[in-house]
């Protein structure tokens, strides 16, 4: 688990400040806690107590998932000495100083010498077009890490541009064009035996030939993905060196589209099967076409192509409609299609707003990217502006190729072994690290605009290896006598690699049963285990148990169970207790609760159904003395059915429960 460390916290690389200021915040330490074993007292409280002489105090929780906290201490003490003492504490997994971080701006080393680079506001927006500064994908910052081309294992990265064709002789594209060197051009023979004749430069699905038409739209898209960088001419692509595979298949009949995608699938599958001797290492496809208002259910084979490509390791992008409509409601093909391997894109402006003429959808459109007045390559060695979701999508496609180029050795090897799982990780790095955007919030899945630099830094810092995840941090249930609850314990591999696990419950805890068959999680696999919590043999009272998920580390899930209808209130010494009455009972719709507390106490009154699930919170505020509140069973968004419910009043001193019966 040490690989988890602090990578979840920073999306900027550490750069020490070159002045008198220390490279870390004085009197601060970041700690990853080893919490299991501290039940009565939390690990935070234990640490604070043991270092009380240093005035160690928790400042904030930085990451709940991996138990990382920021602490402060008396700055008069030596930081290194305090740090070493904290590292030795049994409640601590890792401790470090809170280093200062500096945003890395683009520098001369990462600004390419391509003559029209300043026109590419979507890559690097300084306000040069009158828009909002930094309303861009942070391309120069990403190029500090990689400029693309090859993976660390030497695979030549290829992006398939599924469009109307493209110019094969453009001065800024020809160096980056993919070529099938196993095929002899224009001899009418399938020399490499891949099923396609004369496919030297790609495939034309309109004519089922290797003759690629010179299409203006496809040429423009290709330049954004991978125009040659640093060659002192024209523009630059998001990836400077990735190869471009032209596939002409973007209009006409659906059969043409499927043939085009089929060619890409065959070439990538062939590469996988021959260990790179044949085919092409295609990692992404770009689609800037579709069927406005299309129903994905009517296009099952087209949709299935994205899943098939994904299984081979290829992520696809799709431009949504150039219509200001909600795809969730009106539909679209392909961007309403449900495939984990398809990333859907809308168009943003240099003011960092969604273009008013671009479609959107909270559940269908993943993110935005610059797509308004985009400058790129056009036929005959020319350059020009185009606008549309077609121009936004290649920014995402190029970003994907750059992320594949940024893979370290472990990730690249894992990609060869499990191309589908690692492809989904690449997708997640891109989607989970967008720039938040108010204009996209609530109308796209991520609520953000593409930022390739954020994604690359996340790749460099977040762990690739196995990362265990479960669907419960704690389990807290309220049950009637003789009641039992059966549900699922979900165990997931949230990273890559492989997790071997087992599940145990102490022999002394008879009321918890979990499937204890050992399991293995590959890639991003998920297992669902039957879990039974039963009060059938328990008397009224409070119970505590633990479920242990065993891997090289142990994850402990605390289980709290309250059993009873009229459980006696917990009392402290001779102090009076909190009381709770319900009237009328049974009730037809409205019931009044009378709560009495011996002193002013913040008190919660909650309603549970017989499955132990909370259905309403009636009160959550300070109460002193006697107070009556009224609750209606019809007050929620979904009317509650007739039956038995449990009302529970609790505060920091005690708790009491009552049975109530809803009978209309």
State how many domains the chain has. 4
Residues 186 and 247 in one domain: yes
> How confident is the model at residue 38, as a pLDDT?
54
Query: pLDDT, tens digit, for every residue of 121-157?
Result: 999 999 999 999 999 999 999 999 999 999 999 999 9
3-class SS string, 409-438: HHHHHHHHHCHHHHHHHHHHHHHCCCEECC
Range of the domain at 70: 24-99
Reported as a single tens digit per residue, the pLDDT across 309-328 is 999 999 999 999 999 999 99
**pLDDT in the model for residue 468:** 65
pLDDT at 4 over 50: no
Decide: 400 and 317 in contact? Cβ < 8 Å.
yes
Contact by Cβ (8 Å): 159, 242:
yes
Final residue before a domain boundary, out of 70, 99, 128 = 99
How high is the pLDDT of residue 467?
A: 56
Beta-bridge partner residues of 58? 71
Are 478 and 442 found together in one domain?
A: no
pLDDT tens by residue, 253-311: 888 899 999 999 999 999 999 999 999 999 999 999 999 999 998 888 899 899 999 99
What's the pLDDT score for residue 8? Answer: 28
| Mean per-residue pLDDT, 215-243 | 96
Note whether 244 and 309 are same-domain residues.
Answer: yes
Residue matched to tokens 């609520």: 447
pLDDT digits (tens, 9 = 90+) for 326-362: 999 999 999 999 999 999 999 999 999 999 999 999 9
Average pLDDT score over residue span 385-400: 97
Q: Residue 156: which CATH number?
A: 3.40.50.200
Q: Are residues 417 and 525 in the same domain?
A: no
- Considering the domain architecture, whether residues 362 and 245 belong to the same structural domain is answered as yes
> How many percent of the chain have pLDDT more than 90?
49
Residues 208 and 142 in one domain: yes
The H or E element containing residue 99 is strand 92-99
Q: Is the pLDDT of residue 612 over 80?
A: no
Residue 574 belongs to some domain of the structure: no
Alpha-carbon distances of 143 from 16, 345, 393, 406, 568, rounded to whole Å: 21, 22, 19, 10, 66
Is pLDDT of 653 > 50? Answer: yes
The domain that holds 501 is classified in CATH as: 2.60.40.10
Q: Which among 515, 536, 563 is the end of a domain?
A: 563
pLDDT (tens digit, 9 = 90+) per residue, 151-198?
A: 999 999 999 999 999 999 999 999 999 999 999 999 999 999 999 999
pLDDT for residue 472 is more than 90: no
Residue 495: pLDDT band (50, 70, 90) is low
pLDDT at 569 over 80: no
594 belongs to a structural domain: yes
Q: What is the mean pLDDT of residues 567-580?
A: 51
User: What percentage of the chain exceeds 70 in pLDDT?
Assistant: 87
Regarding whether 516 and 378 lie in a shared domain, the answer is no
Q: How far apart, in whole angstroms, are the C-alpha atoms of residue 358 and residue 371?
A: 10
- Segment 235-258 shows an average pLDDT of 93
> For the chain, percent helix, then strand, then coil, each to nearest 5?
20, 30, 50
Q: What is the predicted pLDDT for the residue at 572?
A: 32
Residue 536 β-bridge partners: none
The more confident residue out of 485 and 357 is 357
Asked whether the predicted pLDDT for residue 107 surpasses 60, the reply is no
Handedness of CA 127, 381, 261, 329 (dihedral sign): positive
Q: With 0-12 CB in 10 A as exposed, 13-18 as middle and 19+ as buried, what is 173?
A: buried
Per the prediction, the chain carries an average pLDDT of 84
- List helix spans (H) across 227-299: 254-273
User: Are 527 and 653 in a shared domain?
Assistant: no
Asked whether residue 478 carries a pLDDT value surpassing 90, the answer given is: no
Q: Where is the domain boundary, 507, 534, 563? A: 563
Indicate whether 9 pLDDT > 70: no
**What would the 3-class secondary structure string for 430-491 be?**
HHCCCEECCCCCCCCCCCEECCHHHHHHHHHHCCCCCCEEECCCCEEEEECCCCEEEEEEEE
| Joined tokens for residue 283 | 């990692």
Same domain, 139 and 278: yes
pLDDT-derived band at 62, boundaries 50, 70, 90 = low
Asked if residue 573 belongs to a domain, the reply is no
In a domain, residue 300? The reply is yes
Domain annotation covers residue 321 = yes
Q: Do 277 and 386 share a domain, yes or no?
A: yes
Residue 491, pLDDT score: 84
Q: In this predicted model, which residue has the larger pLDDT, 137 or 520?
A: 137
Is residue 622 domain-resident?
A: yes
Query: Has this prediction a pTM greater than 0.85?
Result: no
The answer as to whether 407 is a domain residue is yes
Task: Indicate whether 437 and 479 sit together in one domain.
Answer: no
| Res. 410 pLDDT band, cuts 50 70 90 | confident
Residues 41-56, mean pLDDT to the nearest whole number? 87
CATH classification of the domain holding 41: 3.30.70.260
Residue with tokens 């002013």: 600
Indicate if 370 and 491 belong to the same structural domain.
no
Answer whether residue 604 is part of any domain. Answer: yes
Two tokens, residue 247: 């596939």
CATH number of residue 591's parent domain: 2.60.40.1930
Q: How far apart are CA 98 and CA 28, in angstroms?
A: 6
Rounded to the nearest 5°, which phi and psi values hold at 47? -65, -45
Cβ-count burial 332-361 (b if 16+ within 10 Å, e if not): bbbbbbebebbbbbbbbbbebbbbeebbbb
């Amino acid at each position: 688990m040490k690989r988890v460390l602090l990578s979840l916290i920073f999306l900027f690389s550490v750069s020490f400040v070159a002045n008198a200021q220390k490279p870390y915040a004085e009197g601060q330490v970041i700690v990853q806690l080893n919490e299991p074993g501290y039940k009565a007292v939390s690990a935070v409280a234990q640490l604070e107590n043991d270092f009380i002489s240093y005035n160690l105090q928790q400042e904030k929780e930085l990451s709940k998932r991996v138990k990382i906290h920021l602490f402060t201490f008396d700055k008069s003490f030596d930081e290194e000495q305090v740090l070493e003492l904290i590292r030795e504490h049994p409640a601590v997994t890792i401790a470090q100083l809170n280093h200062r971080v500096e945003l890395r701006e683009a520098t001369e080393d990462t600004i390419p010498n391509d003559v029209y680079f300043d026109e590419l506001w979507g890559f690097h927006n300084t306000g040069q077009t009158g828009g909002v500064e930094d309303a861009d994908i942070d391309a120069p910052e990403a190029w500090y890490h990689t400029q693309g081309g090859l993976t660390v294992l030497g695979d030549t990265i290829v992006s398939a541009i599924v469009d109307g064709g493209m110019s094969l002789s453009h001065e800024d594209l020809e160096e980056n064009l993919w070529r099938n060197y196993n095929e002899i051009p224009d001899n009418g023979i399938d020399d490499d035996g891949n099923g396609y004749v004369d496919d030297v430069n790609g495939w034309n699905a309109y004519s089922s030939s290797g003759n690629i038409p010179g299409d203006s739209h496809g040429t423009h898209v290709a330049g954004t993905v991978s125009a040659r960088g640093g060659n002192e001419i024209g523009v630059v692509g998001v990836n400077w060196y990735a190869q471009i595979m032209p596939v002409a298949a973007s209009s006409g009949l659906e059969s043409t589209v499927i043939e085009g995608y089929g060619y890409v699938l065959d070439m990538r599958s062939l590469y996988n099967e021959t260990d790179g001797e044949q085919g092409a290492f295609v990692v992404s496809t770009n689609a800037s076409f579709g069927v406005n208002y299309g129903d994905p259910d009517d296009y099952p084979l087209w949709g299935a192509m994205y899943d098939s490509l994904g299984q081979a390791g290829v992520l696809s992008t799709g431009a949504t409609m150039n219509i200001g409509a909600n795809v969730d409601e009106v539909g679209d093909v392909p961007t309403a299609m449900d495939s984990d391997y398809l990333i859907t894109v809308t168009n943003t402006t240099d003011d960092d707003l969604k273009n008013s003429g671009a479609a959107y959808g909270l559940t269908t459109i993943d993110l935005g990217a610059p797509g308004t007045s985009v400058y790129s390559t056009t036929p005959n060695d020319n350059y020009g502006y185009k606008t549309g979701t077609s121009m936004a999508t290649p920014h995402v496609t190029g970003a994907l190729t750059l992320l594949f180029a940024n893979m370290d050795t472990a990730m690249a090897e894992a990609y060869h072994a499990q191309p589908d799982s690692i492809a989904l990780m690449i997708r997640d790095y891109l989607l989970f690290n967008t720039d938040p955007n108010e204009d996209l919030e609530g109308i796209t899945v991520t609520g953000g605009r593409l930022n390739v630099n954020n994604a690359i830094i996340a790749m460099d810092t977040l762990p690739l290896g196995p990362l265990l995840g479960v669907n419960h941090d704690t389990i807290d249930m309220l049950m009637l006598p003789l009641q039992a609850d059966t549900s699922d314990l979900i165990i997931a591999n949230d990273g890559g690699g492989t997790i071997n696990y087992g599940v145990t419950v102490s022999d002394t805890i008879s009321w918890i049963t979990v499937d204890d068959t050992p399991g293995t999680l590959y890639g991003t696999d998920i297992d669902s285990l039957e879990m039974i919590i039963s009060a059938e043999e328990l008397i009224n009272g409070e119970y505590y148990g633990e479920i242990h998920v065993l891997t090289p580390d142990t994850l402990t899930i605390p289980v709290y169970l309250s059993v009873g209808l009229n459980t006696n209130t917990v009392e402290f010494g001779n102090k009076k207790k909190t009381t709770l009455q319900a009237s009328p009972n049974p009730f037809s719709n409205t019931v009044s609760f009378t709560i009495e507390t011996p002193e002013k106490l913040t008190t919660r009154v909650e309603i549970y159904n017989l499955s132990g699930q909370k259905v309403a919170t009636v009160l959550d505020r300070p109460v002193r003395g006697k107070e009556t509140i009224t609750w209606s069973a019809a007050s929620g968004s979904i009317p509650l059915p007739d039956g038995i419910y449990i009302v529970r009043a609790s505060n920091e001193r005690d708790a009491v429960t009552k049975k109530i019966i809803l009978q209309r």
